[in-house]
Chains A and B, each alone.
Chain A
Amino acid sequence: MKKKIVLIAALLIGWILLYNTLERLTDLIVYSLLQFQKETSLASTIHFFIYEVPKVLLLLTLIVFAVGIIRSYFSPERTRKILGGKKLFVGNVLASLLGIVTPFCSCSAIPLFLGFVESGIPLGVTFSFLIAAPMINEVALVLLFGLFGWQTALLYMSTGILIAMISGYIIGRLKLEKYVEEWVYKIKAVHSETMEDKITLSGRIDAGVEAVKEIVAKVWIYIVIGIAVGAGIHGYVPENFMASLMGKSAWWSVPVSVLIGIPMYSNAAGIIPVVQALLEKGASLGTVLAFMMSVIGLSLPETIILKKVLKLPLILAFVGIVGVGIIIVGYTFNLIY
């Protein structure tokens, strides 16, 4: 255990040193070593790529590690216990917040949905969880923080929570339970005390390391490709090119971005670097935010999976309510900024 802490401290110091010298290192490589002329499209593209890829990967490793440790304190089972017996509103608020910290993989969306409903958690509260969990994830937050800055990351997170709370609340108030497949309410599950083994601090650190291995191995390639495309846009697309398409003046850009975003199934890793480059070329923040939320939070494959337990009217209500929420967020930010 002592060894582990020393190792992590050493890695952390290395991390800080590397992160802080990254910019100078990139300048050195691009302008001195490779002898690129400053201010050319090619140099700016390559500089962007060489700087952003390691930067984002470094941030990702650190945050995923930290989130992995935080998540070891939560589990879907515990979350279900906390949400049990909670009424609408309070339940929606809690479910949205727990959606962020509870370990969740979209492949478990159905068992989780069934388990929540079976144990009597209201439909609207369950939806708040199911909306928040995929939309607000650590990969999205890292990329937003790394490429856009902390303000945008915070904006995304807080508006995402708001959408999850309100959408779930509305779904609850609309009394749509009849549009859940009948068999769902007939499930009788055995509630054996799951042997939740006590995790030691050392075990939690291991959980963090596991999370890094799993997530970084999965998304690094999307990040590299996303940043490569972003770097190309950064260097070669003229300034203000996007203003007429995704700018504030184009009032239709928000709903269209949301509509385009729904069938697009990309993880946050691939889409955010591209969108960041678009922002630089004149797209407006609200439109960009709406597009990202739609791509990440409302994905077609996930909706199709939900068809196994939900009838069409409920699926349409879910997509519609969340979609409208995202559009409102988009317009609001276009108005403010």
Chain B
Amino acid sequence: MTIKVLGPGCMNCKTLERRTAEALKKMNLEASIEKVTDFQQIASYGILRTPGLVVENKVIVQGRVPSVEQIQELLASHVA
């Protein structure tokens, strides 16, 4: 499973990355988190707000930083 965190490196992006890692750990999921900081690439996902969270090339979060629990739920519903 590939997970991408989209964002130029602002506070929110770092928080999102950290929480995603935490959520993965809690769920015992193996996945690599890739950081996408290039605006051209970020824009190609069609998001207007950072940070964004992409799972298997699908944007599941944009413009907000969900809690670890919420990320867990989101991951669970998109992985299955």
- Of all chain B residues, the one with the shortest Cβ separation from A77 is B48
Report whether B12 and A111 are in contact in the complex, using a CB–CB cutoff of 8 Å.
Answer: no
B10: chain A residues within 8 A (beta carbon): 107
B58 within 8 A of A: yes
A337 within 8 A of B: no
Report whether B44 and A188 are in contact in the complex, using a CB–CB cutoff of 8 Å.
Answer: yes
- Interface of chain A residues 239 through 281 with chain B (CB within 8 A): none
Contact with A along B39-59 (1 / 0, CB 8 A): 110111111111000000011
Report whether A107 and B12 are in contact in the complex, using a CB–CB cutoff of 8 Å.
Answer: yes
Bound complex: CA A93 to CA B46 (Å): 25
B45: chain A residues within 8 A (beta carbon): 189-190
Contact with A along B50-70 (1 / 0, CB 8 A): 100000001100110000000
Report if A309-B12 is in contact (Cβ < 8 Å); known contacts: A76-B63, A77-B48. no
Report whether A309 and B39 are in contact in the complex, using a CB–CB cutoff of 8 Å.
Answer: yes
- Interface of chain A residues 20 through 55 with chain B (CB within 8 A): none
Bound complex: CA A191 to CA B46 (Å): 6
Contact with B along A65-85 (1 / 0, CB 8 A): 000000000001100100000
A112: chain B residues within 8 A (beta carbon): 48-49
Contact with B along A273-307 (1 / 0, CB 8 A): 00000000000000000000000000000000000
User: By the criterion of a CB under 8 Å from any partner CB, how many residues of chain A are at the interface?
Assistant: 24
Bound complex: CA A10 to CA B49 (Å): 35
Bound complex: CA A80 to CA B42 (Å): 17
Bound complex: CA A187 to CA B18 (Å): 29
* From B39, B47, B63, contact of A308 by CB (8 A): B39
B62: chain A residues within 8 A (beta carbon): 194
Pick 18 A–B contacts, CB within 8 A, sort by A: A76-B63, A103-B63, A107-B8, A108-B48, A110-B8, A110-B39, A112-B49, A114-B40, A187-B40, A187-B44, A188-B44, A189-B44, A189-B46, A190-B44, A192-B58, A194-B46, A194-B62, A308-B39
Q: With A110-B39, A191-B46 given, can you name 8 additional A-B contacts, CB distance below 8 Å?
A: A76-B48, A76-B63, A107-B8, A108-B48, A108-B49, A111-B39, A111-B47, A114-B39
